[in-house]
């Protein structure tokens, strides 16, 4: 039970800066996910909290103690590792009680705690098994039991579900959430899977290239991404990005114009180069435009590829001439991704008009990538720019 603080934490290796001036303030009992692509510094950040790596600069505080230079054993943290890291030469009981035995707890106390931990993760009756006699999920539960048995101040989980198969991963995800509810301990959870982060975290900390991009509750990250990177990283499939410019009359891009009153928004001026971002679910066929309070003008597109997912259809739309170009990135392109109702009558290579929900159109500074506004309906506060997904569906 403690709050965790990282202040100006930086880790430099000989030629790279793995973590660059990260500030995090994590409340007692909070579940925070560190997400980011591979090599973004999230594991290094975790190791610095655990004490396995010493930061080059900055301080790490757990509770009121500055633990920056303490060895891992004196920090009151417990960790679940990506590769599970059970000691193969010890049975389950010895694995779970390892930390307690090192701290010379009395025998009865150890027994009681191990039993309680095994109870929480449903490992009763398996205490005398060896790790190699267990399945992946069972081993993962032993690793979690080993962490909770010490009643740590902070739980660190480094991609604990990465090595499990998809079905077990979803199952363990719920178990971890239940566990968090039960233990009410501060948890830091590292993952590269944004879906995992979205579903579990109280707050998500998005890291890229060693820098903290945004730390906010999942839906805030989703609806009001702080910059282009967060907008592209959070959400699957990724947000559509189109390059554009601010004009007197609105927003202009190569393929479409949007109504936009720049005067109503701060920090946006005529002639500014911007990146227009819109999520696939905020693109609608023109036939549905009537139901939108603030739809854009219709945009002419040609459907390209359809990906029926069951509950929705991802439709790739080509704007302009409709020339199919290979290797389209999620970044700015002449391609739009639309997510529509599975019952919509739609075929490939069909000409159609689509509209964007202007309440959920994001503008980013083209040069810096910083978010300028979320929603381009003026006045911006009138229609709830931070609309939840529920709002966008009506």
Partner 1 sequence: MATSDRRDDRVEPDEPEGGPLERWTQRAMQNPERVYRALFYVVMIFFMVTTLFPFYWLLVLALTPQSRLLQGSFLPQIDLFGAAAEFPLPVAKGFNPAAFVSVFEQVPFHLFMLNSFALAVTTTVIVLVIASLAGYAFGRLDFPGRGALMLGILAISYFPPAAFVIPLFEAFTGNVPITVPFTEIPLFTPPRLLNTPGSMVIPFSALFLPLSIFILTTFYAQIPDGLEDAARVEGTTRIGALFRVIIPLSAPGVATAAILTFIAVYNEYFFSTIMATSFAAGNWSPLVGGILSYQTQYTTQFNLMAAASIVGVLPVVLLVVVAQERIVSGLTAGALKE
Nearest-angstrom CA–CA distance, 322 and 251: 22
132 near 84, Cβ under 8 Å? no
CA distances from 301 to 22, 240, 283, 350, 351 (A): 43, 14, 12, 8, 6
309 near 366, Cβ under 8 Å? no
The least distance separating partner 1 from the CB of residue 108, rounded to whole angstroms, comes to: 20
The least distance separating partner 1 from the CB of residue 61, rounded to whole angstroms, comes to: 18
Cβ closest to partner 1, residue 141 vs residue 262: 141
Cβ closest to partner 1, residue 91 vs residue 243: 91
- What string marks each residue from 122 to 151 as x (binds partner 1 by CB under 8 A) or -? --------xxx-------------x---x-
Work out whether 379 is an interface residue with partner 1 (CB under 8 A): no
CA distances from 49 to 45, 55, 62, 221, 331 (A): 6, 9, 9, 24, 34
Cβ closest to partner 1, residue 44 vs residue 275: 44
- Give the binding range for partner 1 (CB under 8 A) out of 27-35, 45-53, 241-249, 310-318: 45-53
Work out whether 162 is an interface residue with partner 1 (CB under 8 A): no
Cβ closest to partner 1, residue 34 vs residue 230: 34
Work out whether 110 is an interface residue with partner 1 (CB under 8 A): no
- Give the binding range for partner 1 (CB under 8 A) out of 49-57, 107-115, 181-189, 208-216: 49-57
Which residue in 29, 72, 137, 369 binds partner 1 (CB under 8 A)? Answer: 72
48 near 60, Cβ under 8 Å? yes
Work out whether 4 is an interface residue with partner 1 (CB under 8 A): no
Question: Phi-psi region for residue 348, left (φ > 0), alpha (ψ -120 to 50) or beta?
Answer: beta
- Residues 67-95: b if buried by 16+ CB within 10 A, e if exposed: bbeeebeebbbbbbbeebebeeeebbbbb
Nearest-angstrom CA–CA distance, 243 and 26: 36
The least distance separating partner 1 from the CB of residue 50, rounded to whole angstroms, comes to: 6
Name residues contacting partner 1, limited to 80-109 (CB under 8 A). 81-89, 98-99, 102-103
18 near 210, Cβ under 8 Å? yes
Give contact residues for partner 1 (rule: CB under 8 A). Answer: 47, 50-52, 71-73, 77-79, 81-89, 98-99, 102-103, 130-132, 146, 150, 156
């Amino acid at each position: 039970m403690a709050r965790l603080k990282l202040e100006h934490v930086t880790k430099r290796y000989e030629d790279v800066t793995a973590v660059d001036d990260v500030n995090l303030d994590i409340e007692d009992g909070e579940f925070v996910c560190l997400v980011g692509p591979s090599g973004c510094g999230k594991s290094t950040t975790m190791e610095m909290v655990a004490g396995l790596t010493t930061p080059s600069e900055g301080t790490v505080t757990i509770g009121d103690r500055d633990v920056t230079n303490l060895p891992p054993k004196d920090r009151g943290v417990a960790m679940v590792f990506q590769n599970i890291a059970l000691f193969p030469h010890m049975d389950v009981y010895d694995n779970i009680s390892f930390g307690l035995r090192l701290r010379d707890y009395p025998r009865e106390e150890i027994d009681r705690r191990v039993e309680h931990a095994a109870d929480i993760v449903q490992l009763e009756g398996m205490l005398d098994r060896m790790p190699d006699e267990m399945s992946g999920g069972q081993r993962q539960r032993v690793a979690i039991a080993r962490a909770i048995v010490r009643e740590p101040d902070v739980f660190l989980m480094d991609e604990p579900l990465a090595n499990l198969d998809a079905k077990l991963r979803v199952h363990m995800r719920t178990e971890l959430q239940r566990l968090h509810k039960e233990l009410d301990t501060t948890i830091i959870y590292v993952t590269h899977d944004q879906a995992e982060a979205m579903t579990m975290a109280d707050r998500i900390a998005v890291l890229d290239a060693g820098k903290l991009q945004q730390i906010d509750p999942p839906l805030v990250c989703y609806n009001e991404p702080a910059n282009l990177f967060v907008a592209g990283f959070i959400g699957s499939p990724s947000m559509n990005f189109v390059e554009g410019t601010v004009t007197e009359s609105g927003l202009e891009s190569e393929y479409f114009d949007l109504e936009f009153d720049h005067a109503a928004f701060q920090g946006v001026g005529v002639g500014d180069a911007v990146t227009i971002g819109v999520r696939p679910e905020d693109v609608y066929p023109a036939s549905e435009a009537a139901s939108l309070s603030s739809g854009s003008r219709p945009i002419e597109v040609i459907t390209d590829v359809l990906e029926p997912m069951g509950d929705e259809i991802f439709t790739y739309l080509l704007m302009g001439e409709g020339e199919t170009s290979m290797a389209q990135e999620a970044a700015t392109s002449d391609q739009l991704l639309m997510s529509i109702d599975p019952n919509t009558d739609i075929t490939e290579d069909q000409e159609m008009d689509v509209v964007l929900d202007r309440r959920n159109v994001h503008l980013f500074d083209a040069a810096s990538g910083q978010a300028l506004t979320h929603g381009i309906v003026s006045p911006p506060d009138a229609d709830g720019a931070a609309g939840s997904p529920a709002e966008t569906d009506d």
